[in-house]
Amino acid sequence: MPAGKPQVQDYIRTIVDFPHEGILFRDVTTLFADPRGFRMAIDQLLHPYAGVQFDKVIGLEARGFILGGAVAHQLSAGFVPIRKKGKLPGAVIAEEYTLEYGEAVVEIHDDAIQPGEKVLIVDDLLATGGTAEAGIKLIERLGGEIIGCAFIVDLPELGGRKKLEAMGMDIHVLCEFDGL
């Protein structure tokens, strides 16, 4: 850890060539494992929303569940997971999206959000924005009002932030890393 006051990015390790050669994987589990780092990240994710009332916090599969639960607790809001296809019991709605190597589907319970409820979307990493875009579409189909999207890491070269902002989303990120 660098000298001086640590920043969120100081707690995130980089793993070279994972999951494929040429990828620099930004591993937030080291941030989650450190009590000071984890609290710092949760506090900073919440900071721009001080005084805003939320009904629900939405966590995107899977590390968004860890963050979303902590954020929901701090906001005294409910927590709703958006999961990969086939992981939620009961009635769901689904949204397909494109990955760099194929397609995927995410789902949400069809009664998880009531029309007009104010929600905050939380996840660890914003890369291409595909998962977040699919989540936004699900929330909008249920009538939720998305107040913001908060991420720990943005990979600006992959264009996810621009994609979500073009959809009218307010984006909050704690740090950026260059490279893929």
Q: What ranges in 76-159 are assigned the alpha helix state H?
A: 130-141
In which band, very low, low, confident or very high, does the pLDDT at 3 lie, cut at 50, 70 and 90? confident
Give the pLDDT of residue 39.
98
Which domain range does residue 84 map to?
Answer: 52-176
Cα dihedral 66, 62, 158, 42 in deg (nearest 10): 0
User: Which CATH number belongs to the domain containing residue 127 in this structure?
Assistant: 3.40.50.2020
Residue 130: inside a domain: yes
Count CA atoms within 13 Å of residue 12 on its CB side: 20
Token representation of residue 24: 């620099």
Q: Stretch 112-135: mean pLDDT, rounded?
A: 97
Residue 150: inside a domain: yes
Render pLDDT for 60-79 as a digit per residue (tens, 0 to 9).
Answer: 999 999 999 999 999 999 99
**Has residue 110 got a pLDDT over 80?**
yes
Render pLDDT for 130-146 as a digit per residue (tens, 0 to 9).
Answer: 999 999 999 999 999 99
**Could you tell me the pTM of the whole model?**
0.95
CA dist 2 to 30, 61, 151, Å?
15, 31, 23
Render pLDDT for 31-40 as a digit per residue (tens, 0 to 9).
Answer: 999 999 999 9
Residue 171: inside a domain: yes
**Has residue 89 got a pLDDT over 70?**
yes
Active site residues: 63, 100
Residue 23: inside a domain: no
Residue 25: inside a domain: no
Residue 16: inside a domain: no
Residue 65: inside a domain: yes
Provide the domain count of the chain.
1
Residue 2: inside a domain: no
Q: What is the phi/psi pair of residue 84, to 5°? A: -65, 155
Q: Which long-range contacts (CB under 8 A, 24 or more apart) does 157-162 make?
A: 158/127, 158/128, 158/129, 159/128, 159/129, 160/126, 160/127, 160/128, 160/129, 160/130, 160/132, 161/126, 161/129
Question: Any idea what DSSP says for residue 76?
Answer: T
Q: CA 118 to CA 147: how far, in whole Å?
A: 6
Give the pLDDT of residue 99.
79
In which band, very low, low, confident or very high, does the pLDDT at 180 lie, cut at 50, 70 and 90? low
